Structure 1
Amino acid sequence: MATSTTRAPGTSRADLITDAALALLAERGMRGLTHRAVDERAGLPQGSTSNYARTRQALLEATVRRLAEREAKVLAPGELPMPDGRVQGEPTEGPDALVAGLALALHRYLTRHPELLICRYELALEATRRPELREFFDATGRQFREPLVALMTAAGSPEPERHALSLVAWCEGLMFSCAAGSYHRSVPTAAELRTGFTELLRGMLGPRGQ
């Protein structure tokens, strides 16, 4: 039997349920995500998850929403320890600052929260089979895409929408390779990620990306 999810002080029952659902997805995959299993993992009475999300679709949507909330804490620029937390001498604006922020966020995700990546892939695949979940999954994902377009605009991109897509594609490929692909034992260092982002942005922005 799986151990129950520890409830941190101030955690709502909804968060406890959806955190348990994410833990099950990471450990057992989509087949292991059931209302009963979530109750057991969360340490709640049987029927608690059904009262919160009566259908599987509702449970999946709630899980996608919680995943987005937890990813935002890792990836959102406002959550990064900058500029106060950056190494002395690092830039505070422009392409170099964008590189520093992106490298820090991606390295933190890959090294501290790989289970969230597994959950994202499980849910993304399920969304390809459930049109109603696909729409919800895509709408949730826009909260990451739109700020990235704004960041590319601020960095001087002449085509921020297209460049944001290229940046996302590069990041997604790297994350999959390190979380579930052949590079899962070779996660890049923060310095290596900075080099990669610098090369990518230089190619898109020209002299402004250097």
Structure 2
Amino acid sequence: MGNRRNDLLDAAIEVLGGSGMHGLTHRRVDAAAGLPAGSCSNHFRTRDALLEAVVERFADRERHNFEAILMESVPHGPAELAQVLTRMAHDAVGPHRTLTLARYAILVEAGIHPSLRARLLTTGARVNAYFMAWLRLAGSTDPDRQAPLIMNYWTGVVLHELAVPDPAFDPSEQLTSLVTAVFGAEVPT
């Protein structure tokens, strides 16, 4: 078992991903972590403090999940990048579904609470830098332009699959078409 703080944050992610923002309470996190009442509030005095810590924790967990995928396949071209993105999408809606649902719940909440928005921008900058490196490995000549196009599409595909699950979910063809088109597109001068 990890340290108590991370156990509480992982339990908060489970509660958030399973019950949404309205279900997230200190008491429910304590119960999900199997810890005595008051444990969560001892570490995170306010709900805002808990949410800000959850943002850091899910960013670390997602980065770890993405690194595990890349350990198996580093993208060396648009088609391979599309394969990695497909694997990431399956991972996000499958074994890490609750983590992904928690991320989307917090993204929506950030639209209402600027303090969360600031935290997401910080963790998002690290994710963006990571993805830019993947794009360069895959042969991108303009990752600043291409990254938002690809990742925003990927985010939408994953969100749609979470909301309306399809047993035959396979975004590989669309992702391959998108990545190939984005890599081949020239910016008009």
Task: Point out where structure 1 has 5 or more consecutive residues left out of the alignment.
Answer: 1-8, 84-90
**1:136-155 to 2 correspondences below 5 Å:** 136-155=119-138
Higher relative contact order (CA 8 A, sep 6+): 2
> Could you say which residue in structure 1 is the equivalent of 2:19?
28
Correspondences of 1:109-120 after superposition (within 5 Å): 109-120=92-103
Change (3 A) 1:158 1:28: same
Instruction: Give the letter aligned to residue 86 of structure 2.
Output: A
1:1-210 superposed matches below 5 A: 9=1, 11-76=2-67, 79-83=69-73, 93-180=76-163, 183-186=164-167, 188-189=169-170, 193-206=171-184
How far did 1:74 drift? 2.2
**Larger mean Cα displacement after TM superposition, 11-20 or 41-50:** 41-50
After superposition, the Cα gap between the structure-2 partners of 1:141 and 1:49, relative to the gap in structure 1 and judged at 3 Å, is same
Report what 1:86 is aligned to: none
Identity of aligned residues (%): 35
Distance 1:115 1:92 in 2: 26
- SS of the residue aligned with 2:94? helix
Aligned residues: 185
Structure number, greater radius of gyration: 1
Residue 185 of structure 1 aligns with an amino acid whose one-letter code is: D
Alpha carbons 2:101, 2:162 under 8 Å: kept:
yes
Paired position in structure 2 for 1:88: none
TM value normalised by structure 1: 0.79
Rounded Cα–Cα distance in structure 1 between residues aligned with 2:84 and 2:37:
43
Instruction: Note the alpha carbon deviations across 1:148-177, whole angstroms, 9 max, x for none.
Output: 122222333232111100001110110011
CA root-mean-square deviation: 2.1
Q: Is the 8 A contact 2:16 2:23 kept in 1?
A: yes
Gaps of 5+ in 2: none
Misfit runs of 4+, over 3 Å: 78-81
Higher helix residue share: 2
TM-score (norm 2): 0.87
Which letter maps to 1:82? E
CA distance in 1 between partners of 2:18 and 2:184 (Å): 43
The 1:57/1:103 distance shift into structure 2, 3 A limit, reads same
How far off is 1:40 after superposition? 1.8
Q: 1:68 & 1:128 partners in 2: Cα distance?
A: 18
